[in-house]
């Protein structure tokens, strides 16, 4: 079997993709996407909410490639506490910046699969960067101190579930908490 890459058309900026841990909110064949070694992000400048337009990447050009480390259900975001149904995050362990024009040819579906060598990318010459470690959320209030637990405010069960869901990349309703006292 030949190896494939996933190619996505996205309006998200490089910074947002890095912050999210990869390319997110895709309806895709999870099994097929997991088998891809790499995902290539191509620029969508036509979306009303397009980010990162100050770069010199034209519509349809490849601007980022990531080494696929997983394909997980999308997690809730600060803007939307509900995980998008049937949408996935293609996680990256490392990424490299690209500037390849005319990679996206106007296909209707915003994700496609191609043979590994289809874009002529010299993978050895890319400057790979590690993805930053994921932050643990929610953060404890500033006045909370492990040395002085009497000042800790704590958090609600819903807040705990959201924080754990973000950390483990699952939906909050997948978290079950048992308190034994």
Span 94-105, pLDDT tens digits: 999 999 999 999
List of residues 6+ apart from 119 with CB closer than 8 A = 5, 7, 40, 62, 100, 103
The helix (H) or strand (E) run that includes residue 38 is strand 38-43
pLDDT in tens, 85-94: 788 999 999 9
48-93 residue pLDDT tens: 888 887 777 899 999 999 999 999 998 766 655 555 678 899 999 9
How do residues 26-40 score in pLDDT, each as one tens digit?
999 999 999 999 999
Domain segments of the chain as ranges:
4-130, 135-181
- What number of CA atoms fall less than 13 Å from residue 27's CA on the CB side? 5
Q: Which of 32, 87, 94 is nearest to 64 (CA)?
A: 94
Q: Is 29 buried (19+), middle (13-18) or exposed (0-12) by CB count in 10 A?
A: middle
DSSP state of 33: H
DSSP string, 57-70: PPTT-EEEEEEEEE
* pLDDT per position as a tens digit, 153-170: 566 777 677 777 677 767
Q: Which two tokens stand for residue 82?
A: 């509900």
């Amino acid at each position: 079997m030949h190896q494939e890459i996933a190619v996505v058309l996205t309006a998200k900026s490089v910074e947002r993709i890095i912050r999210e841990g990869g390319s997110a909110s895709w309806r895709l064949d999870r099994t097929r996407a997991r088998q891809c070694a790499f995902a290539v992000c191509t620029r969508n400048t036509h979306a009303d909410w397009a980010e990162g337009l100050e770069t010199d990447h034209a519509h349809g050009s490849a601007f980022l490639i990531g080494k696929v480390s997983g394909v997980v259900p999308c997690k809730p975001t600060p803007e939307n506490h509900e995980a998008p149904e049937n949408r996935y995050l293609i996680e990256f362990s490392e990424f490299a910046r690209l500037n390849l024009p005319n990679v996206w040819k106007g296909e209707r579906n915003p994700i496609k699969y191609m043979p590994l060598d289809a874009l002529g990318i010299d993978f050895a010459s890319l400057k790979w960067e590690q993805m930053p470690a994921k932050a643990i959320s929610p953060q404890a209030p500033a006045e909370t101190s492990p040395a002085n637990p009497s000042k800790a405010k704590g958090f609600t069960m819903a807040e705990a579930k959201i924080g754990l869901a973000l950390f483990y990349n699952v939906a909050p309703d997948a978290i079950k908490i048992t308190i034994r006292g």
